[in-house]
Amino acid sequence: MGVSKAVLGEPTIIEAMIQGGVQFIADSRIENIQKMKKAGISTRFVLLRTPLSQAESIVINVDISLNTEIETLKKLSHYAKAYNKSHEVIIMVELGDLREGVLPCDLSQFVEKTLSLPHIKIVGIGGNLACYGGVKPDNKNMHELSKLTDTLEKKFQIRLEIISGGNSANYKWFKSAGDIGRINNLRLGESILLGRETVNRKAIPGLHTRAFQIIAEVIESKKKPSLPYGKICQDAFGNIPDFQGRGIHQRAIVALGRQDIQMSGLKPDNKLEILGSSSDHIILDSNDHKLKVGDEVKFDLDYSGLLSAMTSPFIRKQFTDRKNRAAA
Ligand SMILES: *Cc1c(COP(=O)(O)O)cnc(C)c1O
């Protein structure tokens, strides 16, 4: 499954994922799925997060949803009946990371209750690690998921089509595990988009790690002291700032701020140094760069940078492909 949430289901990017061979597109937000469908994208859509209040819209818009609560499944069944449909679900199992998941000891009973809902079809089970608790996917927890699959299939005489082992953090396990057991699916966002696995953030061979860049405009470039002068109070975000003196130096300000981007997710792609930021400005030590007003400054993005930049309505998204770049 290609996971589209970090790029808000941007159709150009999602088309590329589908051309790349993913069989499903998964997103956490129904709005993104609606956007992709409106853009004419045709695939099996999976919803990664399933709020009770959106049950009707989920039944209408989504092929498969990930679930952990009977209340929600009942409501999905109710609307599936109303729309004369069968709604497919993957039951998420807790494997230790303590985000979503039915505890393994409660799984049988949970599946039994789900099977009694006439308009719900269980198509698989899944696990999610390395999100909240930072727990690594390994042979032990993946084997547990495989074993639970066998147990459920046997006990209820059902066939589970999708055994979804996890997210981009599963790449390393998948490449190194000799035996992947029953796991036949991963839900991959960051590793496809940014070309890195997410346990050690190592580059994946053959993938681009700089497919996304953000470009900001220089709006001021001056030599200034490095230490503020006057009485110090709280800054715009309620912190008392602390500065290192580095004498008079060349500073540049770019028109990009915390309203657009998570600052920790931004990496200058050259010798610029980020000194600080406010809602609408980033202050750079521009060293030997002779930046002029109107110049462009490029930054690389990590996952939080990509997520926030894609979400900002102030950032214009522009796509280039190899063909266009060669022509340019
Ligand atoms: C976001 C998400 C993913 C994808 O995570 P990546 O680290 O981007 O691969 C997979 N599964 C679930 C349940 C998610 O919420």
| Euclidean distance between CA atoms 181 and 161, whole angstroms | 14
Q: Confirm whether 316 is domain-assigned.
A: no
Q: Confirm whether 326 is domain-assigned.
A: no
Helix (H, G, I), strand (E, B) or coil at 26: strand
Q: Confirm whether 203 is domain-assigned.
A: no
Q: Which atom of ligand 1 is nearest to the CA of 6?
A: 8
Q: In angstroms, what is the C-alpha Rg of the chain?
A: 24
Dihedral angle sign, alpha carbons of residues 167, 172, 174, 177: negative
Regarding the beta carbon of 145 and ligand 1, being less than 6 Å apart is answered no
Q: Which atom of ligand 1 is nearest to the CA of 198?
A: 7
Count of structural domains, the chain: 2
Q: Which atom of ligand 1 is nearest to the CA of 130?
A: 7
Q: Confirm whether 200 is domain-assigned.
A: no
Q: In terms of domains, do 187 and 252 share one?
A: no
The whole-number pLDDT of residue 277 equals 95
Domain at 250, CATH number:
2.40.37.10
Q: In terms of domains, do 81 and 221 share one?
A: no
Is residue 78 scored above 60 in pLDDT?
A: yes
Q: 123 CA distance to ligand 1 centroid (A)?
A: 19
Report yes or no: 25 and 41 within 8 Å, Cβ to Cβ.
Answer: yes
Give the mean pLDDT of the chain.
95
Q: Confirm whether 151 is domain-assigned.
A: yes
| Euclidean distance between CA atoms 297 and 272, whole angstroms | 9
Is residue 327 scored above 50 in pLDDT?
A: no
Domain around 173: 2-194
- Residue ending a domain, among 194, 224, 247, is 194
Q: Running DSSP on this structure, what letter comes out for residue 203?
A: B
Q: In terms of domains, do 71 and 147 share one?
A: yes
Q: In terms of domains, do 294 and 262 share one?
A: yes
Closest CA to 148 of 134, 160, 136, 133: 160
Share of the chain above pLDDT 70, in %: 98
| Euclidean distance between CA atoms 228 and 259, whole angstroms | 24
Q: Confirm whether 328 is domain-assigned.
A: no
Closest CA to 65 of 26, 104, 101: 26
Q: 267 CA distance to ligand 1 centroid (A)?
A: 23
Is residue 26 scored above 70 in pLDDT?
A: yes
Q: 188 CA distance to ligand 1 centroid (A)?
A: 6
The whole-number pLDDT of residue 290 equals 86
The whole-number pLDDT of residue 288 equals 81
Could you list the beta-strand ranges (E) of the chain.
Answer: 2-3, 24-27, 44-47, 64-67, 87-93, 120-127, 162-164, 213-225, 248-254, 266-268, 273-277, 282-285, 296-301
Confidence of residue 322 (pLDDT cuts 50, 70, 90): low
Q: In terms of domains, do 184 and 238 share one?
A: no
Q: In terms of domains, do 10 and 123 share one?
A: yes
| Euclidean distance between CA atoms 283 and 255, whole angstroms | 9
The whole-number pLDDT of residue 147 equals 98
Q: In terms of domains, do 40 and 131 share one?
A: yes
The whole-number pLDDT of residue 242 equals 85
* Backbone φ and ψ of 105, nearest 5°: -70, -20
For the stretch 165-204, pLDDT in tens is 999 999 999 999 999 999 999 999 999 999 999 999 999 9
Regarding the beta carbon of 5 and ligand 1, being less than 6 Å apart is answered yes
Neighbouring-strand partners of residue 27:
47
Q: In terms of domains, do 76 and 120 share one?
A: yes
Q: In terms of domains, do 98 and 190 share one?
A: yes
Q: Confirm whether 201 is domain-assigned.
A: no
Q: Whose CA is nearest to atom 12 of ligand 1?
A: 48
Is residue 114 scored above 70 in pLDDT?
A: yes
The whole-number pLDDT of residue 324 equals 54
Q: Confirm whether 240 is domain-assigned.
A: yes
Q: In terms of domains, do 222 and 159 share one?
A: no
Which residues participate in catalysis according to the annotation? 5
Regarding the beta carbon of 198 and ligand 1, being less than 6 Å apart is answered yes
For the stretch 207-244, pLDDT in tens is 999 999 999 999 999 999 999 999 988 988 888 888 88
Neighbouring-strand partners of residue 267:
300
For the stretch 64-75, pLDDT in tens is 999 999 999 999
Q: In terms of domains, do 96 and 13 share one?
A: yes
The whole-number pLDDT of residue 326 equals 47
Domain at 120, CATH number:
3.20.20.10
Q: In terms of domains, do 173 and 33 share one?
A: yes
Q: 169 CA distance to ligand 1 centroid (A)?
A: 9
Alpha helices in 39-133 (DSSP H): 55-61, 70-82, 107-115
Share of the chain above pLDDT 90, in %: 90
Report yes or no: 123 and 114 within 8 Å, Cβ to Cβ.
Answer: no
Is residue 321 scored above 80 in pLDDT?
A: no
Residue 221 identity (one-letter amino acid):
S
